[in-house]
């Protein structure tokens, strides 16, 4: 019977370890969720003529246009706005990846899924043929 008691003790320790790991991961997930929810990122284009800020969802929250944008076509300004927004969204994905790596680790399935979610939801880096990035 001594062997059975040792087996039960080992099983109880394993269950306690699993429970501790689950509790720790839940706490980490809560911290990360709060961090991700507060993220903002800034992108610039047109040699600083346009600055776009995006919130945690990747949506535009602030747009600054330099007065010099009046000296160019509206179409060019629109291109620069889009480039700045894409740059901000790319930076947001980078920040989310960094926060996830520090909190959960990128080797975890949850960490990889969160990063993939940001990457799939937001566009990639600006593919602007001009040199204003």
pLDDT tens sequence across 100-129: 999 888 888 888 888 888 888 886 654 443
Q: What pLDDT is attached to residue 3?
A: 59
Q: Which two tokens stand for residue 92?
A: 């947001």
Say whether pTM exceeds 0.85.
Answer: no
Return the C-alpha torsion angle 84, 88, 94, 98, nearest 10: 150
CA 33 to chain centre: 10
Is there a domain that residue 128 lies in? no
Q: Which two tokens stand for residue 123?
A: 């566009």
Which residues in the chain land under pLDDT 50? 1-2, 126-133
Is there a domain that residue 127 lies in? no
Residue 70: give its domain's CATH number.
3.30.1310.10
Task: Please name the helix (run of DSSP H) or strand (run of DSSP E) that holds residue 28, with its range, or none.
Answer: helix 2-37
Q: What pLDDT is attached to residue 129?
A: 39
Domain total of the chain: 1
Is there a domain that residue 130 lies in? no
Q: What pLDDT is attached to residue 122?
A: 81
């Amino acid at each position: 019977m001594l062997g059975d008691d040792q087996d039960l003790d080992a099983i109880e320790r394993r269950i306690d370890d699993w429970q501790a790991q689950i509790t720790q991961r839940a706490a980490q997930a809560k911290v990360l969720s709060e961090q991700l929810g507060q993220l903002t990122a800034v992108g610039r284009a047109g040699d600083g003529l346009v600055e776009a800020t995006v919130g945690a969802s990747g949506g535009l929250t602030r747009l600054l246009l330099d007065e010099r944008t009046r000296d160019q076509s509206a179409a060019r300004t629109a291109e620069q706005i889009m480039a700045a927004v894409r740059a901000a969204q790319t930076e947001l994905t980078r920040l989310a990846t960094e926060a996830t790596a520090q909190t959960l680790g990128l080797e975890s399935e949850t960490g990889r899924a969160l990063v993939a979610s940001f990457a799939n939801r937001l566009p990639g880096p600006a593919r602007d043929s001009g040199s204003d990035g």
